[in-house]
Structure 1
């Protein structure tokens, strides 16, 4: 069992901001993000209950304590507002989990062998905190070659998905985790994994984990590619400004 103070973020850490590619999507990297990251690893190793990560995720996930979800949510609010345009009138929610890529390349479905986007609304954000070292690979961001899209916003999703489906019908079989030499995508940015490094970006950015093929991807948090992942969602409230009560993260 760990205490709520073990979830404290390091407010002395300085965010580094980058604009990615030709579409200038913001990317925030914060090193030494948590004051006690080793205690998060300890919790994941001794108390978290991992299970299937969902249809799209090639590995396992485990719930985090709600206090950790809340601490991360409020720590990221200033960046969400100042960099990504989230306002005080947006209703916010966030879900956070431990996540471990564990599927061997030959087990992947086609969608898992492609760069992807998580959701299309422009205020939805994704967070990754690496709780593993740099040997496990980081995160790579892409441009879809034929459309030039680096982000899949709501107005682009239908045409992009249709174009990608057409291309896949005419492209030799694609398998394995996405790498830097993809037949349909070009790399626009890479972030190296580093223990206790936090990465924040819009969920609409085309991206993929950098998954090292020579690694044995264990489901043991003490031995595998352990990360903390979160999705922050913002929605314009139905009630008028001034009548807003901010939701706690779910």
Structure 2
């Protein structure tokens, strides 16, 4: 982590969810971008609208090691979080190519202790991360107790108003209300609970670019 990094803790929404933001996170973000340009990217599951390349714990954990003690306090965790998985990710889907599930906010898992660490590596700063509240239930996060209610409500609401159009979410919709957004500044890092409802916050005129040196590149690290 850079010696000039600055940290800020915020809370958002009715549930007062925590977000930790680190500006000037890495001393040499261009090195990470150059490494990414040499990686072999591929599809990883049906949810992410683009390409990913796995990153090992040996490479990714040193990036957040100085933060782990603070994350225990800020997120009231029972122990220091450890590595689950990590990817370099680049958005490559045009809006018209999005599947229905990619047009909705999502959550990474139902465990409240699961954290998502997102490092923005796009010099164009063409999209951060937005957080949402499900209108029908008021849920801003989904744990095991809420999961079935969330799913049933989502299914009922989709039947009532229909699926969203083939576009990236940009603000309020019939099904979800946007409650917060991280701007996605270059070389900034955000940490939030993975069970919050969230998605990429991309502009209406977003044009995907598959070159990691030019596109919307992020490093996505998951801890628990």
TM-score normalised by the chain length of structure 2: 0.93
Of the three residues 122, 126, 130, the one matched with 1:132 is 122
Q: 1:82 aligns to what?
A: 73
2:206 is matched with 215
Equivalent pairs counted in the alignment come to: 223
Out of 133, 145, 159, the position equivalent to 1:155 is 145
Gaps (5+ residues) in structure 2?
A: none
Local SS of the residue matching 2:82: strand
Which of 171, 177, 184 lines up with 2:161 in the alignment?
Answer: 171
Task: Measure how far apart 1:87 and its partner are.
Answer: 2.9
Structure 2 residue aligned with 1:113, among 100, 103, 111? Answer: 103
Q: Separation in 2 of the partners of 1:104 and 1:15?
A: 34
- Note if 1:33 corresponds to 2:25: yes
User: Secondary structure of 2:6's partner?
Assistant: coil
Would you identify which runs of 4 or more consecutive aligned residues in structure 1 move more than 6 Å? none
CA contact (8 A) 2:4 2:24 kept: no
Q: Which residue of 2 aligns with 1:24?
A: 16
Report how far residue 73 of structure 1 moved: 4.5
Please give the per-residue CA displacement for 1:52-104, whole angstroms capped at 9, x wherever unaligned. 1321111000123543222135233113211112233x673332111011111
Q: Deviations over 1:8-49 (max 9, x none)?
A: x1254221111111100001111001111110011111x211
- Aligned CA RMSD, in angstroms, stands at 1.6
Question: Hey, what's the Cα distance between the residues in 2 that align with 1:11 and 1:19?
Answer: 25
Contact 1:73 1:94 in 2 (8 A): no
Does the Cα contact within 8 Å between 2:56 and 2:85 map onto a contact in 1?
Answer: no
Deviation at 1:202, TM superposition (A): 0.1
TM-score of the superposition, structure 1-length normalised?
A: 0.84
Q: 1:227 aligns with which of 199, 218, 223?
A: 218
Per-residue CA deviation, residues 112-138 of structure 1 (Å, 9 max, x unaligned), is 101111111110000111001354111
- Largest Rg, 1 or 2: 1
Gaps of 5+ in 1: 1-8, 234-250
> Secondary structure in 1 aligned to 2:60?
helix
Residues 26, 83 of structure 1: 8 Å contact kept:
yes
